[in-house]
Amino acid sequence: MTSTTKWLVRVLGCAAIVTCGMVASAGAQDARLEGRVPEAVRTEVDVIVEGARAAGLPTEALIDRALEGASKGADGTRIVAAVRRLRDELGMARDAMGSASTAAELVAGASALRAGASADHLNLLRSQRADEPLTVAAAVLADLVAVGVPVDTAVTAVLALAEGANDTEFIAFRRNVERDIALGASPVAALGVRLDLAAEVFTTDRAPPPSPRKP
Amino acid sequence: MNHRGLAALAAAALVHAVGFQTIAAQTTGTLDLGGSWVDYEGFLGSAAVSLTPTVQYDAPTVSLGATGSLVVFESGNHILQALAAASWRTPAIGSLRGEVSGVAGANKYEEASTFTHALARSRIHVTRTRAGGWVGAATGQSSFSGASGTPFQIEAGLWAALDRLALDLTATRTWFDEIEYADVVGSARLRELSVTFHGSIRARTWSANGGEGLYGEIRAEIPIWRRLVALVGGGRYPSDPARGVLAANYASVGLRVSAVQGRPRLSSQIARTLTRSSDEHATLVPGQARIEVRSVDGGAFTLRVRAPGAESVDLAGDFTDWNPVALTRVNGDVWEVQLPGAPGLYRVNVRLNQGDWMVPRGLRAAEDEFGGLVGILVIAER
C-alpha cells in the first residue's frame, strides 16, 4: 500500500468514525423530548443522557425526569439541574450496589440516597440481599425515612427484613408501619412493633401464620 | 365495665340534654370499677380491669360531662380514654326545641395508636309528653396523629317513654374517609324492682368498608346499698374504623360508687347517639384521593384511585411519559387505569376535575425539584 493509499484509508476511516459517532449521537436523542422542552434544554439533557449511557447508567429515568419537569412547567435550568442530579445519584447508587444492578434497582437506590440513606447503607443492603432484587427494599428504606424513621433505624429494619422478606412482604411491612404511625404511634415504635411481628413470622419459617395475640 | 362502657357512660352526660326535664342544677360524680372479658376481632380473648371516673353537671338548659377511663388488659397493655361533652338547649317554641352540643375526646392504646376527635352536633327536637323525635347532623374533626379527616353524620330518631319503659329508634348515615355506613339502632330501658336494664340492638344495614352485621348489648344496674350499684353487662359491638376500635364481644361486671346521691337516669337514651357521634364518624372529603395498586400482571399493572365526588381523574407519571391519562370510573368514587410497566419505582401525580396535580394518599410524597410534590409509587412483583 502506497503512502497515498494509507493516507486515504486513514482519512476515510476517520470520516467513518466521525459519521458513525454523529449517527449514534443523533440516535441517542430521545424523540419524547421533542416539543416538550425548549431545544436548548433538550440539547443539554441529551448530553447528560448520552454521558449516562456511556457510563452504563440507566437513561430512561433521566428522560422521565425531564418530561416531568416539562409537564410541570419548570424552567429549563431546573429541568437540567434535576436531570443532572439524578444522573449523579444513579452513579452513586451503581457504585454502592454494584454494576450488575438493574435499572429499577438503581432508580430505587437513588431514591433512597435522596431520602437520606448513604452509599454504605446501599452497599450493606446489596451484600445482605445479593441474590434478590433490591428495588423494593431500597424503596421501602426511602419510604421509612420519609415517614420519620431515623435513617440508621430504617436501615437496620430493612436489613433485618432483607434476610427473609419477599417484595410483597416489604410492601406490607411499609404499609403497616405507615398505618401505625397514622394511628398515632411514633415512627420508631411502629417500626419496632412491626419488626417484631415480622421476625416472628420469619423465625417460624413461615410455616404457621402468626397466632392472634392478647390485646 | 370494659372500655366500650365509657362511651355509654359518657353518653349519660348528655342524656339529659334531650330529656328536657325541668330540674334544678345538679352535679353528680361516679366512680366505676370493673372487670371484663373482651374478645376483640383478630385478638385472643383477654381479661381486663377498668377504672372510670365521671362527673356530670345538669341544669335546665345546659349539661356538661367529663369522663376518663383506664383499662388494663391481662397482658399489661392498657387503654387510656378521656371524653368531655357539653350541650345547650334553646327555649321551647311550642313542641320544638333546638339543641347544640359538642364532644371532644381522645384515646390511646399503648404506643400503638392515638385518636382524637372534636365534633359539633345540632338537632331539632319535637317533644311531646311521652314521645318525641329529632333530626340532626354532626361534623367535626377526627385525627390519627398526623392524619385527620372530617366526619359527617346525619340522623333521625324517635323515642317513647312509658311508666317504667323507655324506647328509642335511631337511624344514622355516616361518612368518613373511604368509609360509609348506615345504622339502625333500637334500644330500650326498663326499670323493674329498682333494677335498671339497658338493651340495644344495632343493625349495620349498609356499609362501604365499615362492616355489616347485627350487634347487641345489654346492661343491668343493680342497687346494692345506698350509693353502691352493681353493673353487669355484655354483648357484641361493631368495629369503629374511624377510631381504630375493633369489633368485640364482651362480658363485664363492676361496681359504681356515686359521690353524690344518684338520681334515676331517665330519658330514652336518645342522646346515646350524641356520644355515638364521637365513635362513629365517617367522612368523605371531596377533593381527596387515594391510590392503590390493584394488580400486577406481566408487563402491566392496574392502578385504582378512590376520589370522592370527582367528576374526572387524571394521572401522569413516569409510565405515561408525563402525559395525562384519564382514568375510567369503575363505580361510584372508584376509578381505574391499566398501564404498561415493569415492577419498579415510579413518580406519579394525580389530579381531580382538571385541578392541580397532587399526591394522592397511599403514596409517599417527595419534593419534585420543580417546586411541588410528587408521589413515589412502588410496583412490586406479585
Cβ separation A135–B115 shorter than 8 A? no
Cβ-proximal residues to B46 (8 Å cutoff; 6+ apart), any chain: A214, A215, B37, B38, B39, B40, B73, B74, B75
8 A C-beta contact, residue A96 and residue A127? no
What is chain A's mean pLDDT, rounded?
A: 80
Q: How far apart are CA A17 and CA B190, in angstroms?
A: 99
Residues of chain B contacting A213 with CB distance shorter than 8 Å: 43-44, 75
Enter the C-alpha cell of residue B161: 317513654
Q: Which of B81, B364, B373 to mutate to test the interface with A (most CBs of A within 10 A)?
A: B364
The confidence band for B227, taking pLDDT boundaries of 50, 70 and 90, is confident
Q: What are phi and psi of A154, to 5 degrees?
A: -65, -40
Residues of chain B contacting A214 with CB distance shorter than 8 Å: 43-46, 73-75
The confidence band for A35, taking pLDDT boundaries of 50, 70 and 90, is confident
What is chain B's mean pLDDT, rounded?
A: 78
Q: Which residue of B has its CA nearest to A73?
A: B370
pLDDT digits (tens, 9 = 90+) for B94-109: 778 888 999 888 888 7
How far out from the chain centre does Cα B344 lie?
38
Distance (Å) from the alpha carbon of A8 to chain B's nearest alpha carbon: 47
Q: What is the dihedral of CA B333, B338, B339, B344, to 10 degrees?
A: 80
For residue B83, what are the β-bridge partners?
Answer: B67, B105
The ipTM value here is 0.76
Distance (Å) from the alpha carbon of A115 to chain B's nearest alpha carbon: 9
Number of cross-chain residue pairs from A and B with Cβ atoms under 8 Å apart? 140
pLDDT digits (tens, 9 = 90+) for B145-199: 556 778 888 999 998 877 677 888 999 998 877 778 888 999 988 877 778 889 9
Q: Which residue of A has its CA nearest to B38?
A: A215
8 A C-beta contact, residue B88 and residue B101? yes
Containing A103, the helix (H) or strand (E) segment is helix A103-115
Q: B76 CB near a chain A CB, below 8 Å?
A: no
The confidence band for B285, taking pLDDT boundaries of 50, 70 and 90, is low
Range with the poorest average pLDDT among A15-19, B138-142, B200-204: A15-19
User: Is the per-residue pLDDT at A15 higher than 80?
Assistant: no
**B175: closest CA among B195, B153, B155?**
B153
Q: Flag whether the pTM goes above 0.90.
A: no
Q: B146 CB near a chain A CB, below 8 Å?
A: yes
Q: What is the dihedral of CA B237, B240, B246, B249, to 10 degrees?
A: 0
Range with the poorest average pLDDT among A28-37, A151-160, B19-28, B63-72: B19-28
User: Is the per-residue pLDDT at A4 higher than 70?
Assistant: no
User: Is the per-residue pLDDT at B76 higher than 70?
Assistant: yes
Cβ separation A72–B357 shorter than 8 A? yes
User: Is the per-residue pLDDT at A20 higher than 50?
Assistant: no
